[in-house]
Amino acid sequence: MTSKKTGAVPRHIAVIMDGNGRWAKRRLLPRLAGHKQGVESLRRCARACVERGVQVLTVFAFSSENWNRPQEEVSGLMSLLATALAKEVSQLSRDGVRLYFVGDRSSLSEKVRHGLAQAEQQTAHNTRLILNICFNYGGRWDIAQAAEKLAAQGVAITPESLDRAMALAHVPDPDLLIRTGGEMRISNFLLWQAAYSEMYFSASLWPDFDEAELDLAIGAFNGRERRFGQTSEQIQQPSTPTVTA
């Protein structure tokens, strides 16, 4: 547990990358231009997390509700994903980043599914940063698929078994959840995993979110007292030294 003002870097940071469309609209550009700039911001954020010693970065790239957007935008996002995979994966691998794509792949095209699997395989040996890209993901879907998996296995559904069956069971829960773009909601993102995450809402649109903004979020995190259901006195109380015979 991390107490107040320790100066520690969050082990796991999660980000709702909001504001791409508004960033483009303010510049009289098509929404897809904002998403392209958002890829640049993700590259910058991943590099900054590596430099600061963050172990896990999880980002919300495409929610299960985003299929309801205009077909032109959805098609553009799928094309952008394919382009980004071809362009970025080799550099991410050189930077020591391991990729996981988290979400429901059943409704994705065979080409996209193959690209995701190939990117995961290409970066599987890396250890500097785990980058979870939540694509066609929803927090309610995650809980439902975990429960369905346990029921099919005949395993009792408990908080502990559900936790092990979640799509992000390979990483610890996020310490810090950031949402850019000025909105103050989590929009069906990591509903289970964010139970004790510290929340940070940034007015910065995602394409404008840079290293300085990340440091502000980390600084705010270090000003919080994380009690996990305990009292301040319990957190601040020094541990009793072990006495040996």
**What is the spatial distance between Cα 12 and Cα 49, in angstroms, rounded to a whole number?**
10
Q: How many CA atoms lie within 13 A of 17 on its CB side?
A: 29
Phi, psi (degrees; rounded to nearest 5) at 139: -60, -40
Q: How many CA atoms lie within 13 A of 29 on its CB side?
A: 14
Interhelix angle 31-52/71-94, nearest 10 degrees: 30
**What is the spatial distance between Cα 102 and Cα 168, in angstroms, rounded to a whole number?**
7
Torsion of CA 55, 171, 9, 2, to 10 degrees: -150
3-state secondary structure 23-71: HHHHCCCCHHHHHHHHHHHHHHHHHHHHHHCCCEEEEEEEECCHHHCCH
Instruction: Classify 136 in phi/psi space as left (phi over 0), alpha (psi -120 to 50) or beta.
Output: left
18 as an active site residue: the answer is yes
Residue 182 CA from chain centroid, whole number: 18
Catalytic: which of 18, 142, 173, 175?
18
Give the angle subtended at the CA of 219 by the CAs of 62 and 91, to the nearest 5°. 45
Catalytic: which of 66, 126, 188, 222?
66
222 as an active site residue: the answer is no
DSSP assigned state of 200:
E
Q: Which residues are catalytic?
A: 18, 66
